[in-house]
Structures are given as structure tokens and as C-alpha cells.
Amino acid sequence: MLLKHPHIGFFRQTKKTCIIALNLAPQHKLGGRDALIIANFIANKVPTIYTHDQELLVRKKSHGKIFT
């Protein structure tokens, strides 16, 4: 049922996604996994994310909109 949920999307990791992640990681002091997740959101123009990841929420507060 999770695969059919209207608010959940699944995206491929592409070379473009990896390049975005490689730029994001040092710029925002992100680990590889977080950089790839955010890069995927950026590459696929995801406007809103919902997370319980406290580290990611703290980064957003300190860096503003790092997802754009």
C-alpha cells in the first residue's frame, strides 16, 4: 500500500543527482546519505518534504532553505 500512497514518490539516483549531492555535501556539511536524499528532492523538483530527522531540521533552521 505504501507504493500507492499519493504523497510518497520514488526516484532513481542518476549521475545528475550524484553531482548535485557532491556539491551539497561540503557546502552544507552533509553526510553522503543526506546529501543524496536532498539532491534527489532538488533534481526532481520536490517542493515539500516531511521529516522527523532532527539533524536535517536543525540544518534547515541554521541555513535557511538549503533545499532550493
pLDDT in tens, 10-41: 888 999 999 999 999 998 888 998 899 889 88
Q: Which residue, 8, 18, 16, is CA-closest to 46?
A: 8
7 in a domain, yes or no? no
- What is the per-residue pLDDT for 57? 67
With 0.85 as the threshold, say if the pTM is over it. Answer: no
38 in a domain, yes or no? yes
1 in a domain, yes or no? no
Local structure of 63: helix, strand or coil: helix
Percent of the chain with pLDDT over 70: 81
- What is the per-residue pLDDT for 68? 45
18 in a domain, yes or no? yes
2 in a domain, yes or no? no
Long-range contacts formed by 58-61: CB under 8 A, 24+ apart: 59/28, 59/29, 59/30
Max CA-CA distance within the chain?
A: 37
4 in a domain, yes or no? no
Domain that holds residue 37: 12-63
51 in a domain, yes or no? yes
